[in-house]
Amino acid sequence: MRSFVHTTGPSRVIFGAGTIERVREEVERLGGARVMLLSGGSPALRKDVERLREGLGDLVAAEFDGAVMHTPVEVTERALSLVRERRVDCLVAIGGGSATGLAKALAVRTDLPQIVVSTTYAGSEVTPVLGETVEGRKTTRSAPEILPETVVYDVELTLGLPVPMSVTSGVNALAHAVEALYAPDATPVTDALALEAVAAIGRALPALYEDPSDMEARANLLQSAWLAGSCLGSVRMGLHHKLCHTLGGAFGLPHAETHTVVLPHAMAYNASAAPDAMARVAHALGVPDAATGVFDLVRQAGGPTSLRELGLTEADLDRAAELATAQPYPNPREVTRTGIADLLSEAWQGRRPQPAAGSAPDLRPLTDEVVASFDGCANPRLRQLLSDLARTLHGYAVRNDLTPQEWQRAIDFLTQAGHITTGTRQEFILLSDTLGISSVVDALTNSRTPETTSSAILGPFYVAGPPAAEHGADIAGGLEGTPMWADIKVTDPEGTPVGGAVVDVWQSNEDGFYDVQLPDLDGPVLRARFTTGEDGRFTFWSILPSEYPIPDDGPVGRMLSAVGRHPYRAPHVHFLINAPGHQPLITQLFVRGGAYLDGAPGQRDAVFGVKDDLVTHFTPHTGPTPDGRPVQGEWRLLDFTFRIAPSDGERAPTSSTETA
Ligand code: BEZ
Ligand code: FE
């Protein structure tokens, strides 16, 4: 069992396109009347700052555009004098980590409310942590006043962020999410935020590289930045963040770029000690191995891959390893000096990390080639179905690390299914039924309205063109069993009788066999075709169906026994209804109180065919029968109305069966 403490910071997030227009409203909501506008003076943001200034209008009491990286205290002091001089009562920052850092540094000294309009993906705007530099030394502190009151994310502002910065800033966010997954104080909430962020960043970065104006990709990245930033604010980060702070603080390497280069290597280092987290990252990214997947993602999106290109010299590596291991911090794998030196050396050279031991080879090129081989198919539906079948099967093999012996077993299984299949024994339907696929296809095709009777699977024992029978006929052919009188009505969803409906009925005998399974039986028994009268009705005599095993002397039966599943179906009668102007209905009625209707998965109906509205009373009676037929002892009454859907305008079912 997992125990945890989760605290959510009390910040408000406004997300969307054009949300910069709402900053004034937020200032007023926070009771501000004298705003100080903070920025880093970047020319790229000039227009946005202008827009913000205009939107705030007479609320702007001061402006400071000198925010810089690492939040040096001397810059904060200068801004602080302005705050005091102009009697500022609210801080509005626009930009990335530098502007946010300055707002936080001022807020912790004055307790003023802060609104941050975030234009990068760094995530610091949603953390209560402040990193400052005092005389060149970086210090970090955390306090509730540091957390901005409101964060405004405006996707339109990120359109101007150049692709290289978008990529490195996006990987910075990715790093928060990855390290949150193996943090010692992770919670189900941070797990969920982190995984959502990883998956969305994995999709957005390549999309953005392809088309920098892709608003959806921009929105996904910005939203992920918020989610990943929330992780950063909630849990303690490990090796990766330590290395990045060391490289940034001691060697002046640029923040987001350093994250981008180091992340795959930190992940590869931790992979053996955090296999679960890495498997989840790999799954979220849709790659076989998390660390190499992130490296490839960076490379594909044109991001930096070596510390050398960021300006670190080889001679610095040893000192960096020493600094990064000087103090202990939480990390899944023990941090050793030689381990970190090796890691840094790989990152310096820009090498692709080794996939984690035991991780699957990257088979995506092979899968892509197979999928592309269907590109020439003129039938788009066939192309779609085959492409996805290939992807699904390849994924299945990879996820399960399928061995040649296992795959051969599967081929043998299908071969045996083919050999045992005849005109009256259909092993492939049994396989589809026992794997639940028949019920999935049935559910996708039919049962779409609550006003109509549910459909159910056809099963392998339907025989097209059963003998026509009169109302009141006995279809049991003299077979032993509890007599059953069926009084069946077919109506439309409003209850109007449907006359002239052709209804095929079939069921097993008392021992659970269908006539086609009993070669000695003379002629079709326990199957017939009725036509409803003007009143939508027909009646017949039969016998009470009992539970029965599906044929289990073939490969499907062996599969069931190998997994400890029984082969029984709950007792039922089949109906196939075809009426002009209506959708066909294939269904079954189950005997209420019968076996295999309830219980744990694997103990119920072997083919997952039961639906609640199809379970009905087969009411016991003694004495006079509806048509006056003399019956000794108990007989049962099945009185049921099928409601069938009109065919117009509805999606036509694809599982209708020839009734010639
Ligand atoms: C049947 O109900 O007839 C049936 C359905 C699936 C598998 C075997 C039998
Ligand atoms: Fe059946």
pLDDT band per the 50, 70, 90 thresholds, residue 657: very low
User: Looking at residues 405-421, what average pLDDT do you find?
Assistant: 97
Pocket lining for ligand 1, CB < 6 angstroms: 430, 433, 457, 459-461, 550, 569, 607
CA 252 to chain centre: 40
pLDDT band per the 50, 70, 90 thresholds, residue 167: very high
Q: Compute, in angstroms, the gap from residue 344 CA to the centroid of ligand 1.
A: 63
295: enclosing H helix or E strand: helix 290-300
pLDDT exceeds 50 at position 650:
no
CA 107 to chain centre: 40
- Return the ligand 1 atom nearest residue 458 CA: 5
Q: Compute, in angstroms, the gap from residue 658 CA to the centroid of ligand 1.
A: 18
pLDDT exceeds 60 at position 98:
yes
> What is the per-residue pLDDT across 133-159, written as a single tens digit (0 to 9) for each?
888 777 889 999 999 999 999 999 998
Cβ(517)–Cβ(424) below 8 Å:
yes
Q: What share of the chain is helix, strand, coil (3-state, %, to 5)?
A: 40, 15, 40
Q: Compute, in angstroms, the gap from residue 460 CA to the centroid of ligand 1.
A: 6
| From 420, 426, 429, mutation site for ligand 1 pocket: most ligand atoms within 8 A of C-beta | 429
| From 425, 457, 587, mutation site for ligand 1 pocket: most ligand atoms within 8 A of C-beta | 457
Q: Compute, in angstroms, the gap from residue 545 CA to the centroid of ligand 1.
A: 13
| From 420, 428, 430, mutation site for ligand 1 pocket: most ligand atoms within 8 A of C-beta | 430
- Return the ligand 1 atom nearest residue 430 CA: 7
pLDDT of residue 62: 97
Tell me the three state secondary structure of residue 393.
Answer: helix
Backbone angles phi, psi at 160, to 5 degrees: -85, -10
Terminal-residue alpha carbon distance, the chain: 60
* Contacts of 256 by beta carbon, 8 Å cutoff, 6+ apart: 120, 122, 165, 168, 169, 171, 172
pLDDT of residue 601: 81
pLDDT of residue 112: 97
pLDDT exceeds 60 at position 658:
no
| From 420, 428, 461, 547, mutation site for ligand 1 pocket: most ligand atoms within 8 A of C-beta | 461
Ligand with an atom nearest the CA of residue 545: 2
**What is the DSSP code string of 64-123?**
E----TT-BHHHHHHHHHHHHHTT--EEEEEESHHHHHHHHHHHHHH---EEEEE-SS--
Q: Compute, in angstroms, the gap from residue 522 CA to the centroid of ligand 2.
A: 20
pLDDT exceeds 80 at position 291:
yes
Cβ(236)–Cβ(184) below 8 Å:
yes
Cβ(170)–Cβ(205) below 8 Å:
yes
Ligand with an atom nearest the CA of residue 425: 1
Of 310-314, 449-453, 614-618, minimum mean pLDDT range: 449-453
Q: Compute, in angstroms, the gap from residue 458 CA to the centroid of ligand 2.
A: 8
Nearest alpha carbon to residue 482 among 545, 571, 538, 575: 545
Could you list which residues have their CB under 5 Å from ion ligand 2?
A: 459
- Return the ligand 1 atom nearest residue 551 CA: 8
Q: Compute, in angstroms, the gap from residue 561 CA to the centroid of ligand 1.
A: 17
- Return the ligand 1 atom nearest residue 588 CA: 2
Nearest alpha carbon to residue 654 among 395, 394, 368, 381: 381
Alpha carbon distance 337, 319 (integer Å): 10
pLDDT of residue 401: 83
Place of tokens 């979220």: 284
Residue nearest to atom 5 of ligand 1 (CA): 459
Alpha carbon distance 531, 117 (integer Å): 72
| From 527, 550, 559, mutation site for ligand 1 pocket: most ligand atoms within 8 A of C-beta | 550
267: enclosing H helix or E strand: helix 255-270
Residue nearest to atom 4 of ligand 1 (CA): 459
Ligand with an atom nearest the CA of residue 546: 2
User: Looking at residues 613-642, what average pLDDT do you find?
Assistant: 96
Residue nearest to atom 2 of ligand 1 (CA): 459
Q: So what's the architecture of 433-659 in CATH?
A: Sandwich (2.60)
- Return the ligand 1 atom nearest residue 462 CA: 3
SS3 of 123-187: the string is: CHHHCCEEEEEECCEEEEEECHHHCCCEEEEEHHHHCCCCHHHHHHHHHHHHHHHHHHHCCCCCC
pLDDT of residue 357: 75
> What is the per-residue pLDDT across 206-239, written as a single tens digit (0 to 9) for each?
999 999 999 999 999 999 999 999 998 889 999 9
Cβ(275)–Cβ(294) below 8 Å:
no
Alpha carbon distance 650, 660 (integer Å): 24
Q: Compute, in angstroms, the gap from residue 621 CA to the centroid of ligand 1.
A: 28
Question: How far is CA 145 from each of CA 24, 99, 113, 141, rounded to the nearest angstrom?
Answer: 21, 16, 8, 11
> What is the per-residue pLDDT across 552-598, written as a single tens digit (0 to 9) for each?
999 999 999 999 999 999 999 999 999 999 999 999 999 999 999 98
pLDDT band per the 50, 70, 90 thresholds, residue 652: very low
Residue nearest to atom 1 of ligand 1 (CA): 459
> What is the per-residue pLDDT across 335-352, written as a single tens digit (0 to 9) for each?
999 999 999 999 999 999
Structure tokens at 132: 């400052």
| From 569, 588, 589, mutation site for ligand 1 pocket: most ligand atoms within 8 A of C-beta | 569
- Return the ligand 1 atom nearest residue 438 CA: 6
Q: Compute, in angstroms, the gap from residue 596 CA to the centroid of ligand 2.
A: 13
> What is the per-residue pLDDT across 60-83, written as a single tens digit (0 to 9) for each?
999 999 999 889 999 999 999 999
Mean pLDDT score of the chain, rounded to an integer? 92
Ligand with an atom nearest the CA of residue 461: 1
Q: Which residues of 619-632 are buried (b: 16+ CB within 10 A; e: fewer)?
A: eeeeeeeeeeeeee
Q: Compute, in angstroms, the gap from residue 511 CA to the centroid of ligand 1.
A: 15
CA angle 155, 158, 161 (to 5 degrees): 170
Tell me the three state secondary structure of residue 520.
Answer: coil
Q: Compute, in angstroms, the gap from residue 459 CA to the centroid of ligand 2.
A: 6
pLDDT exceeds 50 at position 656:
no
Q: Compute, in angstroms, the gap from residue 498 CA to the centroid of ligand 1.
A: 28
- Return the ligand 1 atom nearest residue 457 CA: 5
pLDDT exceeds 70 at position 448:
no
Q: Compute, in angstroms, the gap from residue 470 CA to the centroid of ligand 1.
A: 26
Cβ(573)–Cβ(638) below 8 Å:
yes
- Return the ligand 1 atom nearest residue 459 CA: 5
pLDDT band per the 50, 70, 90 thresholds, residue 447: low
Pairing between β-strand 114-118 and β-strand 150-154 as defined by DSSP bridges: parallel
pLDDT of residue 288: 85
Ligand with an atom nearest the CA of residue 551: 1
- Name the percent of the chain lying above pLDDT 70: 97
> What is the per-residue pLDDT across 516-533, written as a single tens digit (0 to 9) for each?
888 788 879 999 999 999
Domain segments of the chain: what residues?
Answer: 364-402, 433-659
User: Looking at residues 316-331, what average pLDDT do you find?
Assistant: 91
- Return the ligand 1 atom nearest residue 574 CA: 2
Q: Compute, in angstroms, the gap from residue 305 CA to the centroid of ligand 2.
A: 62
pLDDT band per the 50, 70, 90 thresholds, residue 6: confident
**Widest pairwise Cα distance in the chain:** 107
Conformation bin of residue 282: beta by default, left when phi > 0, alpha when psi is -120 to 50: alpha
> What is the per-residue pLDDT across 509-519, written as a single tens digit (0 to 9) for each?
988 889 988 87
Residue nearest to atom 6 of ligand 1 (CA): 459
> How many C-beta neighbours within 10 Å does residue 389 have?
13
| CA R_g for the chain | 35
pLDDT exceeds 90 at position 634:
yes
pLDDT band per the 50, 70, 90 thresholds, residue 172: very high
Q: Compute, in angstroms, the gap from residue 308 CA to the centroid of ligand 2.
A: 71
Residue nearest to atom 3 of ligand 1 (CA): 459
pLDDT of residue 103: 98
